[in-house]
Chains A and B, each alone.
Chain A
Amino acid sequence: MKEKSKFSVDSKGFYGEYGGAFIPELLYPNVKELEENYLHIMKEEQFQKDFLALLKDYVGRPTPLYFAKRLSSKYGCKIYLKREDLNHTGAHKVNNTIGQILVAQKLGKKRIIAETGAGQHGVATATACALMGLECIVYMGEVDIARQAPNVARMKMLGAKVIAATSGSKTLKDATNEAIRDWINNPTDTYYIIGSVVGPHPYPDMVARFQSVISQEMKQQLLTQTGNELPSCIIACIGGGSNAAGAFYHFLDNEDVELVAVEASGKGIHSGESAATMVLGSDGIIHASKTKLMQTKDGQIIEPYSISAGLDYPGIGPLHAHLGESGRAKFVSATDDEALSAVRELCELEGIIPALESAHALAYLPKTSFNTNDTVVINLSGRGDKDLSTYINAFGYEQ
């Protein structure tokens, strides 16, 4: 993306009418310190060197852009998978935590906090903290702790302290509230690593920049493999929207590239158990950002549902609200069942077990049609190891 594009954040932290920093005064100094420093820290030559070296040697980047031959022949187009599932820790989340831990170090912070839903961002944060020898506290909803035991164990092995969020609905949104409250109570020595393109400015922009390595590599790999750096279409799943932001980023100004964001519609968009924010949501403020969110007519935030714990967030990043409203990105959705079918299909056709989140992106394929010459990139944001118990139940592999 160009430095100043109509999709980049303005000087006050807004994407069109979305974004901003609707923070209590108690957080003003913390957020201001970050806002004033993040861009020049990220642009320092040494920072870039350190960041890229870690992505290469520690995370294992660049991740492959894999031509999925059998999937392509089934859907009659050229399908490429961007293999973020092959990153260390199993998902794209680590691109951001490595970036932010370096920012935290530059700011001289000693104590790191994070929120997590399914535990992927928590594990990626605990990993980065172990790597740098920094104290790590992860807030996780009490309900999520119970249903994501392996990731809780991973975080503990990596030295993180996992604190249960027992307020509200005891899931991701409440874990985020608790992390923000922690930051209010520890304003000087603590750095908050947000895991998605959500929260107050500058987080959505900073996280998108760290994740933009995905589309940067895609461009180069497409050029090498197809002779054209621009695909016809990019498909990504979206909860808060960090993998979608990363996959779209360097193509935002190439309006010929169709961008498709797939939300989780759970048991059906109008079933009352869904996380399809773009369809069900309306404008409002969640976690200090003006965006689309699922709320009652009185402005109380609604707890979303999806089989995928990484997609059941009641808002979306302000960049995505802007992309959706302006028509730049197309928002569609996939149900739990459609995602599960897509999991099976990728296993059987390509020998890859995808994460439930990423399966929502794959689930768009049967719902559309492409031309034979179309190049379609699907961002395979994570691997399915963490979802094994769901798959065992869903596919009847119990003993």
Chain B
Amino acid sequence: MSNRIKEQFKKKSNLLSIYFTAGYPKIDDTVDIICRLEDCGVDMIEIGLPFSDPLADGPVIQNSSEVSLANGMNSELLFKQLQGIRNRVDIPLLIMGYFNPILQFGLEKFCSNCASTGIDGLIIPDLPFEIYKDKYEQIFDIHGIHNTFLITPQTSEKRIFEIDKWTTSFIYMVSTASTTGIQQNFATDTNAYFERINKLNLDSPALIGFGISNRATFKTACNFSQGAIIGSAFIKHLENKGINEIGSFVKNFS
């Protein structure tokens, strides 16, 4: 099974992964944003599929989801927009979305569409590891789609090792116990948590996300992991500066 995600981790260190909500700010911005992000040197992209009730997200992503839904975004349209994306973009692409819209589209069909458009993996925050293993893993495997799991400062060591064993992409390390876009800086005990995870010598690479909003937090994250994921800060930038200024945002992190 080819694995664009693992290859990228082999090639690069200090990975910069950017999350944005598909269909935001304008419905047709999705592909343009992906291409611009790659051109600016971003290493991986998480394309957000909007949901009406995003439980783990703070106000910034709640708002971008609401706007995107009002713009008319849905799974079918997203896959239509992404058709042919692999003729233009080489870096790993993941879709991040809550489970209900994916279930309604049909998980099987969703994974098969991912495979045919060249999406490498999924991040589904409300599909817990156990239920995935019990009921859905096979569907992901058949289509060669990598699922990504989160760990938090509260996740037990035993559980982290188990998640590591089942991970075929990377571990999404949540920096602090919070919803997205809430923390401005890392709390004082955050480094201790990063160090603790670092010492576990996990087989899978890890990216740190939640609360990465500036150069300082990005650099700290890179000291303890293979890179970081930026979401709310990027969406705020899109909101304020529009898609033409993506380069000036990405430059902060190079």
Please report A residues at the B interface, Cβ cutoff 8 Å. 12, 20-26, 28-29, 167-168, 173-174, 177, 180-181, 184-188, 282-288, 295, 297-301
| B179 pairs with A284, CB closer than 8 A | no
| A184 pairs with B177, CB closer than 8 A | yes
Provide the bound-state CA to CA distance between A29 and B152, in Å: 10
Q: Binary interface profile of B, 118-155, with partner A (CB < 8 Å = 1, else 0)? A: 00000001111111001000000000000001111011
| B150 pairs with A25, CB closer than 8 A | yes
| B131 pairs with A20, CB closer than 8 A | yes
Please report B residues at the A interface, Cβ cutoff 8 Å. 51-56, 58-59, 62, 66, 69, 74-76, 98-105, 125-131, 134, 149-152, 154-156, 159, 174, 177-179, 182
| A181 pairs with B55, CB closer than 8 A | yes
| B55 pairs with A24, CB closer than 8 A | yes
Q: What are the residues of chain A within 8 A of B130 when measuring CB–CB?
A: 12
Closest-CB distance, B55 to chain A (whole angstroms): 5
Beyond A28-B154, A185-B178, whether A22 also contacts B99 by CB under 8 A is yes
Closest-CB distance, A92 to chain B (whole angstroms): 27
Q: Which of A174, A287, A297 contacts B104 (CB 8 A)?
A: A297
Q: What are the residues of chain A within 8 A of B51 when measuring CB–CB?
A: 299-300
| B55 pairs with A177, CB closer than 8 A | yes
Beyond A167-B62, A168-B52, whether A299 also contacts B177 by CB under 8 A is no
Which of A12, A21, A177, A282 has the most chain B CB atoms inside 10 A of its CB?
A177
| B99 pairs with A26, CB closer than 8 A | no
Provide the bound-state CA to CA distance between A393 and B69, in Å: 36
Known contacts A22-B99, A181-B58, A287-B55, then 4 further A-B pairs from the complex at CB < 8 Å, ordered by chain A residue: A22-B128, A286-B100, A298-B74, A298-B76
Which of A23, A184, A187, A295 has the most chain B CB atoms inside 10 A of its CB?
A184
Q: What are the residues of chain B within 8 A of A297 when measuring CB–CB?
A: 104
| A299 pairs with B128, CB closer than 8 A | no
Provide the bound-state CA to CA distance between A12 and B133, in Å: 13
Provide the bound-state CA to CA distance between A286 and B51, in Å: 11
Provide the bound-state CA to CA distance between A187 and B151, in Å: 14
Q: Can you list 29 residue pairs at the A/B interface with Cβ under 8 Å? A: A22-B126, A23-B126, A23-B128, A24-B125, A24-B150, A25-B152, A25-B174, A26-B174, A28-B154, A28-B155, A28-B159, A173-B53, A174-B53, A181-B56, A181-B179, A185-B177, A187-B177, A188-B154, A283-B103, A284-B103, A285-B103, A295-B100, A298-B76, A299-B51, A299-B101, A299-B102, A299-B104, A300-B52, A301-B53
Provide the bound-state CA to CA distance between A284 and B102, in Å: 10
Beyond A284-B104, A299-B101, A299-B105, whether A25 also contacts B74 by CB under 8 A is no
Q: What are the residues of chain B within 8 A of A188 when measuring CB–CB?
A: 154
Provide the bound-state CA to CA distance between A188 and B130, in Å: 22
Q: What are the residues of chain A within 8 A of B59 when measuring CB–CB?
A: 167
For the complex of A and B, list the 3 residue pairs with the smallest distance between their C-beta atoms, beginning with the closest: A299-B104, A299-B101, A25-B150
Closest-by-CB residue of A relative to B125 is: A24
| B104 pairs with A298, CB closer than 8 A | yes
Provide the bound-state CA to CA distance between A116 and B85, in Å: 45
Provide the bound-state CA to CA distance between A185 and B131, in Å: 24
Provide the bound-state CA to CA distance between A12 and B130, in Å: 10
Closest-CB distance, B189 to chain A (whole angstroms): 12
| A28 pairs with B69, CB closer than 8 A | no
Which of A22, A24, A284, A286 has the most chain B CB atoms inside 10 A of its CB?
A24
Q: What are the residues of chain B within 8 A of A185 when measuring CB–CB?
A: 177-179, 182
Q: What are the residues of chain B within 8 A of A300 when measuring CB–CB?
A: 51-52, 69, 101
Q: What are the residues of chain A within 8 A of B150 when measuring CB–CB?
A: 24-26
Closest-CB distance, B62 to chain A (whole angstroms): 5
Closest-CB distance, A240 to chain B (whole angstroms): 15
| B66 pairs with A299, CB closer than 8 A | no
Provide the bound-state CA to CA distance between A287 and B128, in Å: 14
Closest-CB distance, B218 to chain A (whole angstroms): 21
Provide the bound-state CA to CA distance between A395 and B10, in Å: 73
| A25 pairs with B69, CB closer than 8 A | no
| B128 pairs with A28, CB closer than 8 A | yes
Closest-CB distance, B124 to chain A (whole angstroms): 9
Closest-by-CB residue of A relative to B177 is: A187
| B56 pairs with A184, CB closer than 8 A | yes
Closest-by-CB residue of B relative to A185 is: B178
Provide the bound-state CA to CA distance between A160 and B123, in Å: 37
Q: Which of A22, A180, A287 contacts B131 (CB 8 A)?
A: A22
Closest-CB distance, A294 to chain B (whole angstroms): 11
Closest-CB distance, A253 to chain B (whole angstroms): 28
Closest-CB distance, A129 to chain B (whole angstroms): 23
| A29 pairs with B154, CB closer than 8 A | yes
| A285 pairs with B179, CB closer than 8 A | no
Provide the bound-state CA to CA distance between A299 and B51, in Å: 8
Provide the bound-state CA to CA distance between A371 and B230, in Å: 66
| A26 pairs with B101, CB closer than 8 A | no
Closest-by-CB residue of A relative to B72 is: A298
Beyond A28-B128, A184-B177, whether A177 also contacts B105 by CB under 8 A is no
| A285 pairs with B55, CB closer than 8 A | no
Beyond A286-B53, A299-B100, A301-B52, whether A25 also contacts B128 by CB under 8 A is yes
| A288 pairs with B62, CB closer than 8 A | no
| B178 pairs with A184, CB closer than 8 A | yes
Provide the bound-state CA to CA distance between A287 and B69, in Å: 19
Q: Which of B56, B104, B125, B178 contacts A295 (CB 8 A)?
A: B104
| B100 pairs with A26, CB closer than 8 A | no
Q: What are the residues of chain B within 8 A of A24 when measuring CB–CB?
A: 55-56, 125-126, 150
Q: What are the residues of chain A within 8 A of B152 when measuring CB–CB?
A: 25-26, 28-29
Q: What are the residues of chain B within 8 A of A23 when measuring CB–CB?
A: 126, 128
